[in-house]
Amino acid sequence: GRLEFELVDCGKLKCDPVAFARADATKHRAYIDIDPARLAGLSLTAPRTGDRMCPLGMGGCHRLVSDVLIDRKLPARLRSSVPVLRDGDAIVWLVGIQPDERYKVTATSNTMVRVTYREDQT
């Protein structure tokens, strides 16, 4: 798969950035709050043994990615194929599953990034 990034100026929205991000997010589209200069450093990988993240909505609690995938009832045979968006070693988004709390859009976000995952067509 591949990723597409689009900057969204929160000041030009007619509603709260959090509400906009929540309403427009889909399985293959997420909104993150990250410095646009860091976009070039984002990478798409497979899950790694011992990966940890802070699932959105869990108040900053760290969880093993394997536990998040089990909680979501993803079959074991599919867990290693879940794309993982990373900022260095930090997980930004388990694509199609769960974004990370540390990259969430807030009411004070000035710019957010719309991240769209496009699956390879075979």
Q: What is the pLDDT of residue 90?
A: 95
Mean pLDDT of 80-96: 95
Q: Outline where DSSP puts E strands in 14-119.
A: 29-32, 42-45, 52-53, 63-64, 84-87, 90-94, 98-99, 111-118
Is residue 95 within 8 A of residue 85, CB to CB? The reply is yes
pTM summary value: 0.90
pLDDT tens digits for range 42-71? 999 999 999 999 999 888 789 999 999 999
Mean pLDDT of 74-97: 95
